[in-house]
Structure 1
Amino acid sequence: MNWVQQVDQWQHEHHPALYDAGRMVLGLFIFYKGLTFIADTSGLAQIIQNSQFQFVALGLAHYVAFAHLVGGLLIALGLITRLAIAFQIPVLVGAVFFFNPGQGFFSVDPQFALSLVTLLALIFFFVGGSGYYSVDHKFKMNERRMK
Structure 2
Amino acid sequence: MGYIKKLNKWANAHTNLVIDLFRVVLGVVFFVKGIEFMTNFEEMERLASPFQNVPGGMIILHYLVPAHFVGGLLIVVGLLTRWASIAQIPILFGAILTNFLGEMNTNNLILAIIVSLLCLFFIVYGSGKHSVDYYLKMQQ
- Indicate if the aligned counterparts of 2:51 and 2:57 stay in contact, CA closer than 8 A: no
Structure 2 equivalent of residue 101 of structure 1: 100
Superposed counterparts of 1:1-147, under 5 Å: 5-46=5-46, 47=48, 51-52=52-53, 56-96=56-96, 98-101=97-100, 109-143=106-140
Query: Number of residue pairs matched?
Result: 138
Q: TM-score, normalised by structure 2?
A: 0.85
Q: Kindly state the Cα deviation for residue 109 of structure 1 after the two structures are TM-superposed.
A: 4.3
- Indicate if the aligned counterparts of 2:50 and 2:101 stay in contact, CA closer than 8 A: no
Higher-Rg structure is 1
- Aligned partners of 1:118, 1:49: CA distance in 2, in Å? 21
Q: Kindly state the Cα deviation for residue 112 of structure 1 after the two structures are TM-superposed.
A: 0.3
Paired residue type of 1:130: S
Write out per-residue CA displacement over residues 34-69 of structure 1, whole angstroms, 9 at most, x where no aligned residue.
11122221133444698125x822221110101000
Q: 1:49 to 1:108 in 2, by over 3 A?
A: closer
Q: Percent identity?
A: 34
Q: Kindly state the Cα deviation for residue 17 of structure 1 after the two structures are TM-superposed.
A: 0.8
- Indicate if the aligned counterparts of 1:51 and 1:57 stay in contact, CA closer than 8 A: yes
- Aligned partners of 1:18, 1:45: CA distance in 2, in Å? 36
RMSD between superposed Cα atoms in Å: 2.6
- Aligned partners of 2:63, 2:105: CA distance in 1, in Å? 28
SS at match of 2:82: helix
